[in-house]
Amino acid sequence: MDREQFLESLETALKSLPETEVREILEDYQMHFQEGTSDGREEADIALALGDPTAIGRIFRADFMVAKAGHSATFKNVAGAATAVIGLGLFNLLFVAGPVLVFFILLVAVWALIAMLALVSITVIVASVFYALFPSWFIVGGVSPFLLALGFFSLGLGALSLSGILGIAMAFLTRFCFRLLAGYLKFNLEFIRRRKSV
Amino acid sequence: MNTQFKKGALVLCVLTVLNRKDCYGYELVQTISKNIDVAEGTIYPLLRRLASEGYFETYLQESAGGPPRKYYRLTEKGQEYRDELAEEWTAFTTGVSRILAAPINGKERSSD
């Protein structure tokens, strides 16, 4: 492999990173080849000593994604960082995929619960309005239709506000969880770096 | 030597080399790879990460008969981090050396 091939493979491996980032990284390796050549080394030797450009690209990508998730812990960034860290090797799958999966399943479960509560309460509210307007559609013996409708309406309203409060709390909790997860990924990357290739 | 083990010390080595003097990338990589068997290309991601975490600053300086070189300079934060790692490293290796030197419970393990 010569200089050209090395840089091309590295660029391909970096293609999902921002342009300025890619340019700066490639400049460092271009300089490395230049210094090596004026040091009297062959391009092929320099490339060999540098190592696999695709593997090097993966390290840069994982670093970038983890830093990004650390700055803004959105679902997309955290999921991207997790994927990039897993992409560093099979070994990491155990350490990353397990906790990440548990995190996401828990979050999805609580969100589903809140959504269901909201759905049920909206149904009750709508049903009570219909009941007040068209009591003859419903068969309830002996109770004032209006009173019953009022009861259901307030019940629905209560449940809806409860789900709203829970939703807001969960939104904060979700963001906190993502931040936690981003921190975990960063720790994981450092941990892997200490055990495996840099 | 075990790969896992020597990679663990790489950050410490990079920080220590820069603690002595500012280096440009190639110089730093050669200093490390002369002493430690490592894929030279994996040192650059490390430099970039440590720079982004505020352990180094970079600056350009003209070189004789070539484009300007990018130099790395350790920051105060980087120095503190280096000292911390060096201390951990010394404590760890001292412990390992002690265990290697003295058989535990007076029993010598048979070599297999």
Residues forming beta bridges with residue B60, ordered by sequence position: B70
Q: Give Dmax (Cα) for chain B.
A: 63
- Give the pLDDT confidence score for residue A173 in this predicted structure: 86
Place of tokens 């091309």: A8
Ordered by start, the domain boundaries in chain B are: 7-101
Task: Tell me if chain A has a CB within 8 Å of the CB of B4.
Answer: yes
Which value does ipTM take for this structure? 0.82
CATH 1.10.10.10 correct for B7-101: yes
CB contact under 8 A, A194 and B42: no
**Angle at the Cα of A195 from the Cα atoms of A192 and B17, rounded to 5 degrees:** 100
- Give the pLDDT confidence score for residue B8 in this predicted structure: 61
What's the CA gap between A164 and B59, in Å, rounded? 53
Task: Tell me if chain B has a CB within 8 Å of the CB of A29.
Answer: yes
Residues 46-105 of B with CB under 8 A from A: 46-49, 52, 66-67, 69-70
Q: Which residue of A has its CA nearest to B45?
A: A60
- Contact indicator for A176, A80 with CB cutoff of 8 Å: no
What's the CA gap between B85 and B55, in Å, rounded? 13
Half-sphere exposure of B11 (CA within 13 A, CB side): 29
DSSP state letters, B10-55: HHHHHHHHHHHS-EEHHHHHHHHHHHS---GGGHHHHHHHHHHTTS
Nearest to A9 by CA among A64, A52, A59, A62: A52
- Give the pLDDT confidence score for residue A195 in this predicted structure: 53
From chain B, pick out residues whose CB is under 8 angstroms from the CB of A35.
24-27, 66
- Give the pLDDT confidence score for residue A190 in this predicted structure: 67
From chain B, pick out residues whose CB is under 8 angstroms from the CB of A39.
26
Place of tokens 């307030």: A154
Give me the long-range contacts of B56-61 (CB less than 8 A, separation at least 24).
B56/B18, B61/B24
- Give the pLDDT confidence score for residue A112 in this predicted structure: 85
Kindly give, in sequence order, each residue whose CB lies less than 8 Å from that of residue B43, ignoring residues fewer than 6 positions away. Answer: A198, B10, B14, B28, B29, B32, B33
Q: Which residue of A has its CA nearest to B49?
A: A63
- Give the pLDDT confidence score for residue B1 in this predicted structure: 44
- Give the pLDDT confidence score for residue A198 in this predicted structure: 44
> Tens place of pLDDT for every residue, chain B, 112 residues?
455 456 568 899 999 999 999 999 999 999 999 998 888 999 999 999 899 989 999 999 988 777 899 999 999 999 999 999 999 999 998 999 999 998 766 555 555 5
Task: Tell me if chain B has a CB within 8 Å of the CB of A36.
Answer: yes
Task: Tell me if chain B has a CB within 8 Å of the CB of A20.
Answer: no
Nearest to A34 by CA among A71, A1, A66, A3: A3
Which residues, given as ranges, of chain A have pLDDT below 50?
90, 196-198
